């Protein structure tokens, strides 16, 4: 098969290299703390941005050059995109990928025809995965693009829409399982409301809970081993999304008895939109044992949009990898670049520059976070800060056995508490030493 990209496979050349088409920091086989970078980082590219992102925005048409794409919704065109994509994954040394059903295959007039089209593309993906040793990080169903989902899918006011969505998820799950997917994502693109004036929120949430329980049943039926992930996002497209942030998702999962079946897929730009740092979202998930996977991108801090930029901020990737390492590293999850080139970066070559930038920034983030943890001063400080809880009384409180009377007696005996500086600036400077 002829090459679509006039680029050799990207190699690690070290930090002194002046070659823009080389890794300066991502060295797949180099070990960091006993694991290779490839094992730590588990990079994935998303089919929707990499192959289908046109660069269109509300003010103008697409700008991306895609000479391999004839613009039709034929199966032939869909299969050619798969060829291009796998060449890209190979040349960029990316081991995983992700898809929505509707990015990889066209939607047809009926459910059965759409299922059949998807089946054909999945057959081909299965073949190319085996040939190239690539893996599916996760699959998902696009339940937000088609006009029928304009008022929600699993939270639609209309049962017929809900059933359509169920049919799509059933097929997408079957395909993910067939491709040996490591996980499956639910991003509730239209699961929310525009206004409460016309919305029965309780009913919609109950329906969503029931929908996810049916998905769990089906997962068991087909023997799908991977976890389900919910991907939080506060708004855009709807005014209020039910899965607004990590804490809201965890509350929903607990309320509907779904915790054991779900983890979270956290996306940086969604954390920003929710008014949180990505580190906060990761910590919330990790503390609940629900840190699943990461959609690795970044937003523009002074802009309220989900701009899905490639992650090039070293402080950000350091904080992400710090949380991931503290949580024990990825198991089924990974770093999926749910990111798109700016519309000015319209040449196919820019796909490489964008992914190289993201991969190198994460490789450095990994090395820096590992060094901070190895150094131990940050952790020691935090341990020391909470040392009073190691006393008998502290342990009693933590195990739920203390009373207010006991604490009062302690407070009276001790008098005014002795507190110490939080040393934030000193610790920020310490982190900077590693960057």
**Closer Cβ to ligand XLS, 87 or 101, answer by number:** 101
What is the 8-class DSSP label of residue 387? G
Q: Which of ligand XLS, Ni ion, none does residue 42 bind (CB under 5 to 8 Å by kind)? A: none
CA–CA distances in Å: residue 121 to residues 82, 117, 179? 8, 7, 11
Exposure b/e, 148-158, CB count within 10 A at least 16 = b: ebebbbbbbee
CB 266 within 8 A of CB 276: no
Binding Ni ion (rule: CB under 5 A), the pick from 191, 309, 338, 360 is 338
Residue 140 contact among Ni ion, ligand XLS, none, beta carbon within 5 to 8 Å by kind: ligand XLS
Structure tokens at 404: 């207010």
Contact 311, 339 (CB under 8 A): yes
Q: Per CB under 5 A, which region of 289-297, 354-362, 376-384, 405-413 contacts Ni ion?
A: 289-297
- Report the nearest approach of ligand XLS to the CB of residue 186 (Å): 8
Is 298 near Ni ion (CB under 5 A)? no
Total residues at the site for Ni ion (CB under 5 A)? 6
DSSP three-state, residue 388: helix
Quick one: which segment of 98-106, 280-288, 334-342, 366-374 binds Ni ion (CB under 5 A)? 334-342
Partners of 12 in beta bridges: 23
Minimal CA–CA distance to 138: which of 285, 325, 299, 335?
335
Binding partner of residue 185 among Ni ion, ligand XLS, none, CB under 5 to 8 Å per kind? Answer: ligand XLS
Should residue 191 be labelled a site residue for Ni ion when binding is judged by CB under 5 A?
no
96 beta partners: 44, 135
Which residue, 185 or 291, has its beta carbon nearer to ligand XLS? 185
Query: Which residue number has the CB closest to ligand XLS?
Result: 187
- In the set 103, 295, 308, 360, the catalytic residue is 103
Strand partners, 336: 44, 295
Of these partners, Ni ion, ligand XLS, none, which one is at the site of residue 238 (CB under 5 to 8 Å by kind)?
Answer: none
- Nearer Cβ to Ni ion (117/335): 335
| Phi and psi at residue 275, to the nearest 5° | 80, 20
* Position among 245, 308, 323, 360 found at the interface with Ni ion (CB under 5 A): 308
Q: What is the smallest separation between the CB atom of 161 and ligand XLS, expressed in angstroms?
A: 18
Interatomic CA distance for residues 53 and 202, integer angstroms: 35
For 50, phi and psi rounded to 5 degrees? Answer: -65, -40
Q: Which is nearer to Ni ion, 103 or 306 (CB)?
A: 306
**Segments of 37-121 assigned E as strands:** 43-46, 96-100
Least separation in angstroms between residue 266's CB and ligand XLS is: 10
Kindly identify the residues of this chain, within the stretch 368-397, that bind Ni ion according to CB under 5 A.
Answer: none
Q: Is 306 in the site for Ni ion (CB under 5 A)?
A: yes
Find the shortest distance in angstroms from Cβ 103 to ligand XLS. Answer: 10
Residue closer to ligand XLS (CB basis): 204 or 295: 295
Q: Counting contacts by CB under 5 A, is residue 267 touching Ni ion? A: yes
> Does residue 103 carry a catalytic annotation?
yes
- Which of 93, 269, 319, 361 is the binder for Ni ion (CB under 5 A)? 269
> Biggest alpha carbon distance in the chain?
81
243 binds Ni ion (CB under 5 A): no
Residue 150 in 3-state DSSP?
Answer: coil
SS3 140: strand
Q: Which is nearer to ligand XLS, 174 or 267 (CB)?
A: 267
Distance CA 110, CA 114 (A): 6
Q: Give the distance, in angstroms, between the CA of residue 148 and the centroid of all CA atoms in the same chain.
A: 26
Distance CA 326, CA 312 (A): 22
**Could you say which of 100, 207, 270, 355 is catalytic?**
100
The distance of closest approach from Cβ of residue 13 to ligand XLS in the complex, given in angstroms and rounded to an integer, is: 32
Determine the 3-state secondary structure of 295 from DSSP. strand
Active site residue 243: no
From the list Ni ion, ligand XLS, none, which binds 367 (C-beta under 5 to 8 Å, kind-based)? none
Q: Which is nearer to ligand XLS, 10 or 285 (CB)?
A: 285
- Whether residue 94 has a cis bond before it, omega within 30° of 0: no
Segment contacting Ni ion (CB under 5 A): 89-97, 172-180, 288-296, 406-414? 288-296
Binding-site ranges for ligand XLS (CB under 6 A): 100, 140, 185, 187, 231, 233, 267, 295, 306, 338
Distance separating alpha carbons of residues 268 and 270, to the nearest angstrom: 5
C-alpha distances in angstroms, 160 versus 147, 149, 152, 207? 13, 11, 12, 13
- Residue whose CB is less far from ligand XLS, 91 or 102: 102
Residues of the shown chain interacting with Ni ion in the complex, contacts defined by CB under 5 A = 267, 269, 295, 306, 308, 338
Active site residues: 100, 103
């Amino acid at each position: 098969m002829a090459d679509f990209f006039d680029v050799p496979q990207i190699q690690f050349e070290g930090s002194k290299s002046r070659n823009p088409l080389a890794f300066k920091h991502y060295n797949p086989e180099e070990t960091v703390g006993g694991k290779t970078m490839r094992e730590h980082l588990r990079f994935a590219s998303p089919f929707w941005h990499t192959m289908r992102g046109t660069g269109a925005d509300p003010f103008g048409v697409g700008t991306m050059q895609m000479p391999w794409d004839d613009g039709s919704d034929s199966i032939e065109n869909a299969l050619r995109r798969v060829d291009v994509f796998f060449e890209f994954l190979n040349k960029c040394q990316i081991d995983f990928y992700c898809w929505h059903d509707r990015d990889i295959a066209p939607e047809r007039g009926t459910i059965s025809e759409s299922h059949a089209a998807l089946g054909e593309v999945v057959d081909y993906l299965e073949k190319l995965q085996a040939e190239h040793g690539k893996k599916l990080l996760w699959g998902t169903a696009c339940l937000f693009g088609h006009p029928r989902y304009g008022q929600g899918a699993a939270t639609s006011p209309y049962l017929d829409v809900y059933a359509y969505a169920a049919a799509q998820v059933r097929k997408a799950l079957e395909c993910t399982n067939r491709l040996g997917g490591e996980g499956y994502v639910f991003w509730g693109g239209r699961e929310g409301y525009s206004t409460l004036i016309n919305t029965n929120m309780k009913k919609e949430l109950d329906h969503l809970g029931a929908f996810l329980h049916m998905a769990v049943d089906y997962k068991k039926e087909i023997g799908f081993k991977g976890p389900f992930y919910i991907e939080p996002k506060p708004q855009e497209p709807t005014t209020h999304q039910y899965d607004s942030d990590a804490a809201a998702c965890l509350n929903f999962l607990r309320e509907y008895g779904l915790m054991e079946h779900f983890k979270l897929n956290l996306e940086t730009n969604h954390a920003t939109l929710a008014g949180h740092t990505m580190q906060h979202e990761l910590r919330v998930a990790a503390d609940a044992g629900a840190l699943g996977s990461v959609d690795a991108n970044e937003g523009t801090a002074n802009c309220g949009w989900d701009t899905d930029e490639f992650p090039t901020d070293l402080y950000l990737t350091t904080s992400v990898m710090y949380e991931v390492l503290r949580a024990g590293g990825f198991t089924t999850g990974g770093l999926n670049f749910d990111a798109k080139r700016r519309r000015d970066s319209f040449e196919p070559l820019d796909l490489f520059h964008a992914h190289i930038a993201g991969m190198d920034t994460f490789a450095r983030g990994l090395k820096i976070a590992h060094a901070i943890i190895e150094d131990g001063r940050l952790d020691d400080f935090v341990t020391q800060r909470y040392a009073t809880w190691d006393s008998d009384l502290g342990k009693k409180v933590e195990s739920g056995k203390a009373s207010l009377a006991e604490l009062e007696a302690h407070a009276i005996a001790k008098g005014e508490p002795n507190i110490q500086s939080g040393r934030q600036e000193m610790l920020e400077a310490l982190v900077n030493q590693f960057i």
